[in-house]
Every structure is written in C-alpha cells, then in structure tokens.
Amino acid sequence: MATTELGRALRRWRDRVTPQSAGLAEGGQRRAPGLRREELALLAGVSVDYVTRLEQGRASHPSPQVIEALARALRLSATERAHLFRLAGLLPPGSESVPAYLTASVQRLLDRLTGTPVAVHDASWTLLVANAPYAALMGDPSGWRGHERNAVWRQFVGPASRARYTPESRHTLDTALVADLRAASSRYPADQRLQRLVADVRAHSDRFADLWDSGVVGRHEAARKVIDHPQVGPVALDCDVLTVAGSDLRIMVYTAEPDTEDAQRLALLTVLGTQALVG
C-alpha cells in the first residue's frame, strides 16, 4: 500500500488518543484533542522528525520495531496493529516471534497503577513500556535505544542500574535472567532478534556465556531489591514478575512493605520524579 496511506492512518489514530489517556499532561491550550507529533514521538521512542516524515510520506521502510512502538503508543487494537504493519509494507509478527503487543487489559492495568512503579517487558526482556513511578525509581528509560532497552543486556553489559547487589543476590538474578531467556529462546527459535541478542550478550559478557553454556532454564519470577535513589537514598522493595498468559508479557511491579521507611521513601521519590518528568 502507498506510504501516504500509512501517513493518513497515523494522523487519524493520533487524533483520537488524548494526552490524558496516554498518561501525559494536557500541556495548556490545544488546537485538537489528540496527541501532538512530539508526544507520539516521545511515547514511541522515535524522533519528531521521523514521525513527521512518516505522516507526510517522506520516509520509507520503517522497521518492525518502530511500527510496534507506534502501535503501542497509539493504543491500537490487534486488528489495527496488523493493518499498520501491512501499511508499512511489513508482515504482522506471527507466532514464531516474541510477542510485543501490549494488550488493552495490560494497558488499563498500567493506567490504574499510578502510584506504583510498573514496567512491561516482552519474553526476551526488552522493555516495552514503563509508567512514571518506574521512571522516577529507576531513571527515565525514554532515551534508551536498541539493546539498552533489554534487561539482560543491562544486567550483564551495562550501563549499571540503581539496584544494589551482593555477590549472592547478583548471581541469583543473573541465573534467573539467563534461565528465563533460554526458555524464551526455545519457545521462539525462529525469532532472529532474540537470537541476535543472545549472540551479542555472549560476545560482551563471559559471565553470561558461562551461565548460558551451563544449560540453565527456568523462570524469573520475583526478587528483593535495594534501589539506591539519588534523591531519597536506599529503598528496599519487592519486585514481582507477573506473566500474562497468551501474550508472554512480563509485568514487573515494585512494592514496599506498608508503614515502613521504605514505603515513605517510595512515595516521596514517586512524587518528586513525576514532578520532574512533567516539568
């Protein structure tokens, strides 16, 4: 289909998404109720210029990753997402690929957990979306690109996160991530992006290579973490990993024990971080 059809579809879908529904501040007087181009670019993790060129038919051959990110940002249904892929000249991802579609129910869950840090990853541990409290806790991920968005890459190659580890807790998390990634690799053996990720992490981390070669396989489900936050200090949190049946999404939820100093610090950093992101 013509690229201009892609541009028209993007503009039409952008016009129907309000900033509030996408978790953004309204930002003063607006000529139209929908998302601005810069807001769509921010949500999708691409440049404003690229969104403009796509809408004006001046950009060709967008990558599947870009189309997937635009579909999430525009909150498209499964049918609309498949149509967007075809408008871009791409085949919609099939069952052989790691699912990266954010279901409407998961999006509603994110919309409601406004005071709790939540991040959603696909089965390869690539970050799909994170809410404002997560950004306040772990650092704003909107500027992360490529492998930087993958939790396995960040754990073994870097850059370092705000999480504090003992040698024992690091080994436990390392093993759980590698075991989970191996399980995903066996479920999606034809996914070239996943295979490329494994190869790239192996090439940069002997620690990963040793664990991968050990044949460990399993699920990463929960962990106790201490986050060294630059403004409020250390925060001890439970990190639970919920798997969405049917889509293989991983929802990471960070919570503190009620009526503790950790809970107070989590509430404070959430307010501070949200204000900084809005400002």
DSSP 132-171: HHHHHHH--GGG--GGGGBHHHHHHTS---SEE--HHHHH
Query: Any idea where the domains of the chain sit in the sequence?
Result: 3-87, 104-278
Q: Which amino acid is at 60?
A: S
CA dihedral 213, 215, 221, 226 (to 10 degrees): -30
Please give the DSSP secondary-structure letter assigned to residue 126.
B
H helix or E strand, kind and range, residue 261: helix 261-278
Alpha-carbon gap, residue 248 to 263, rounded angstroms:
30
What is the second-level CATH architecture of the domain 3-87?
Orthogonal Bundle (1.10)
pTM > 0.85: no
Quick one: tokens of 120? Answer: 């959603």
Closest CA to 4 of 68, 59, 72: 59
**Beta bridge pairs of residue 235:** 227
Quick one: tokens of 216? Answer: 């460990």
What is the SS3 assignment for 219? coil
Is the peptide bond prior to 189 cis by the omega test (within 30 degrees of 0)?
no
- Most distant CA atoms of the chain, gap in Å: 58
Backbone angles phi, psi at 129, to 5 degrees: -160, 150
Domain 104-278 -> CATH class? alpha beta
Each of the 279 residues of the chain gets a pLDDT tens digit; together they read 445 899 999 999 999 988 878 777 766 667 777 899 999 998 888 899 999 999 998 887 899 889 999 998 899 988 999 999 999 988 888 878 899 888 888 888 888 888 899 999 999 999 999 998 999 999 999 888 889 999 999 999 988 889 999 999 999 999 999 999 999 999 999 999 999 999 999 999 999 999 999 999 988 888 899 999 999 999 999 999 999 988 899 999 999 999 999 999 999 998 887 555 444
Q: How far is CA 53 from CA 32, 46, 59, in A?
A: 20, 12, 5
Beta carbons of 237 and 256 less than 8 angstroms apart:
yes
